[in-house]
Every structure is written in structure tokens, then in C-alpha cells.
């Protein structure tokens, strides 16, 4: 995507990270230059946000300069510095950020988590399937020190599911009621000590559940160590409904209606 101004002058590197202050990395200049740069960054974000929404068939953009300004999200912007007669062009964007979510694993066990999420990902239509998405995604993984499997994906398109499968071997997504998708490794607890995510308190009413932060994605399981609450629980039918495992539900004898694990 080309702009009237030089994106090469605005952004000094082929991939830049923008946060809520909308200031391009490495900016130097007076107040007037700052105002001008922030306006140009906003124009880039709004144009890419709109193109992304259009590509995903959304009625309105989920990425705008205003929304970024009022969030803790990070937006990675990918440039082609050779394009547009040396002025450069913007070829991709990727927005990430932590979200407080309830997620269910395949057994219906629920977790309160605040994982890093893929929120909006777009490569310009004319440049898709040429490896730019991988380049941008890899940069993000490295900057955020996270594995793809530890991220939650907000309402992924078929293209993104294909992308994650092809490049990271992620398959059989665990679809959530909130339209997020996670993968099986999301729930594993191994090798996460070097990752840092915010831990949230459980909202369970009685406060009887012990909470633990277990993993990169802020995974917390609800566990009740004492008495009958410590006994293994049967599969949760709500979880099975969510994950479309109707055959399992039918096999169970449930005389008095559905059972909820909450």
C-alpha cells in the first residue's frame, strides 16, 4: 500500500512496532514534526486496518489509530523499502495484545487466562503467499518471546488457520465460544518459566478454588485440593457442547439434564 508521503522517512526499519503513543520508533524532531509523524502513522494504521477488515469481510475495522491509542496493543508494520520509487510501501500489519479470556480445553476444563493474542493480521492482497506473513509473524514471536501455540487467535480466517498449520504445524484448533481459537499445546504447563503474563484473580464466587499461574499464556487452572472437591471430575458437558463432541454427550447417562462445570 502506497502513501503520498515517504513511508521510508517515517519508518526507519523494514519492520516497526507502534504502540499507543503512535510515535514511530527512532523519531526525533520538534513538536510540529511529532504532530506530523503521528498523523502519518495514524493514516497508515487506518488504511491498513480498513484493508484488513475488507479482506476478512468485516463490516468495520478492528484496527484504527484511535483504538490503538486507547489500548496496550502492539502493532507491527511491515514495509517494502524498495517500492514506490524509493518512498516505500506498507505491505503488512500484525496486531497483538493480552486479553482476559475464559477458555475450555477439549475435556471441558475451563481456564481463566490472559494470553498474548493475535488480534489482527493482514498482508496486502497483492503480496499474499509470498512469505511476508511468515516474516512478520516470526519477528513478532521473537520480539514477544512467545511460541505460536501459546497464543490465542481472535476469530481466525481460513487463510490464517492455513498459515498456522503450514508454518507452525498447528492443527485441530480448539474453538471457543468467544470466537477465539487455541491449540492443544496452549494448555500444557511445561517450559514456561521464562514467560511473563499478567495473572488475574479467579472470579469464582465462593473463592474455594486454588489458582495457579502455570504457563506462558497466564494459564490458570481451577483446582480444589481437598475432600470431594479434590476428586477427578467427569468431562464437562458444556465443554463437549462447545467443542461439538455430541457423541460423547450422548454416551453419558445424565438423568437430570446438563451438567455445568462452572
Ligand X SMILES: CC(=O)SCCNC(=O)CCNC(=O)[C@H](O)C(C)(C)COP(=O)(O)OP(=O)(O)OC[C@H]1O[C@@H](n2cnc3c(N)ncnc32)[C@H](O)[C@@H]1OP(=O)(O)O
Q: Which of 11, 76, 104, 163 binds ligand X (CB under 6 A)?
A: 163
Burial class (CB in 10 A: 0-12, 13-18, 19+), 84: middle
- When the beta carbons of 166 and 196 are compared against ligand X, the nearer one is 166
Cα distance between residue 32 and residue 105, in whole Å:
51
Cα distance between residue 255 and residue 261, in whole Å:
17
User: Of 17, 149, 27, whose CA–CA distance to 73 is shortest?
Assistant: 17
Among the candidate windows 30-38, 123-131, 202-210, 254-262, which touches ligand X by CB under 6 A?
123-131
- DSSP lists the bridge partners of residue 98 as 116
Q: Which of 123, 146, 174, 242 binds ligand X (CB under 6 A)?
A: 123
Q: Which of 25, 29, 100, 131 binds ligand X (CB under 6 A)?
A: 131
- When the beta carbons of 71 and 109 are compared against ligand X, the nearer one is 71
Annotated binding-site ranges for acetyl-CoA: 121-134, 157-166
- Minimum distance between the CB of residue 59 and ligand X, rounded to whole angstroms? 15
Contact set for ligand X, span 168-227 (CB under 6 A): none
Q: Which of 41, 65, 153, 242 binds ligand X (CB under 6 A)?
A: 153
**What does the per-residue mask of binding to ligand X show for 18-57, with x meaning CB under 6 A?**
-------------------------------------xx-
User: Of 112, 114, 115, 116, whose CA–CA distance to 220 is shortest?
Assistant: 112
- Minimum distance between the CB of residue 57 and ligand X, rounded to whole angstroms? 9
Among the candidate windows 107-115, 124-132, 192-200, 223-231, which touches ligand X by CB under 6 A?
124-132
- Minimum distance between the CB of residue 48 and ligand X, rounded to whole angstroms? 10
Report residue 1 as a C-alpha cell.
Answer: 500500500
- When the beta carbons of 153 and 236 are compared against ligand X, the nearer one is 153
Cα distance between residue 105 and residue 103, in whole Å:
7
Annotated binding-site ranges: 121-134, 157-166
Binding site for ligand X (CB under 6 A): 55-56, 118, 120-123, 128-134, 153-157, 159-160, 162-163, 166
Amino acid at each position: 500500500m502506497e502513501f503520498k508521503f515517504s513511508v521510508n522517512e517515517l519508518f526507519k526499519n523494514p519492520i516497526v512496532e507502534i504502540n499507543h503513543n503512535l510515535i514511530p520508533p527512532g523519531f526525533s524532531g520538534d513538536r510540529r514534526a511529532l504532530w506530523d509523524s503521528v498523523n502519518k502513522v495514524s493514516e497508515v494504521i487506518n488504511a491498513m486496518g480498513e484493508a484488513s477488515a475488507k479482506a476478512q469481510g468485516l463490516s468495520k475495522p478492528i484496527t484504527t489509530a484511535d483504538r490503538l491509542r486507547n489500548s496496550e496493543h502492539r502493532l507491527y508494520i511491515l514495509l517494502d523499502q524498495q517500492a514506490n520509487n524509493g518512498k516505500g510501501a506498507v505491505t503488512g500489519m500484525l496486531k497483538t495484545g493480552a486479553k482476559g479470556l475464559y477458555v475450555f480445553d477439549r475435556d471441558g476444563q475451563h481456564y481463566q487466562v490472559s494470553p498474548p493474542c493475535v488480534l489482527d493480521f493482514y498482508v496486502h492482497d497483492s503480496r499474499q503467499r509470498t512469505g511476508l506473513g511468515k516474516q512478520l509473524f516470526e519477528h513478532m514471536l521473537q520480539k514477544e518471546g512467545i511460541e505460536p501455540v501459546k497464543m490465542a487467535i481472535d476469530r481466525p480466517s481460513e487463510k490464517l488457520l492455513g498459515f498456522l498449520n503450514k508454518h507452525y504445524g498447528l492443527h485441530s484448533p480448539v474453538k471457543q465460544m468467544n470466537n477465539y481459537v487455541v491449540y492443544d499445546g496452549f494448555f500444557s504447563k511445561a517450559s514456561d518459566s521464562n514467560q511473563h503474563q499478567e495473572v488475574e484473580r479467579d472470579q469464582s464466587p465462593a473463592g474455594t478454588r486454588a489458582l495457579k499461574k502455570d504457563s506462558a499464556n497466564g494459564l490458570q487452572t481451577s483446582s480444589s485440593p481437598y475432600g470431594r472437591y479434590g476428586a477427578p471430575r467427569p468431562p464437562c458437558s458444556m465443554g463437549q457442547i462447545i467443542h461439538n463432541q455430541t457423541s460423547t454427550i450422548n454416551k453419558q447417562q445424565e438423568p437430570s439434564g446438563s451438567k455445568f462445570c462452572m
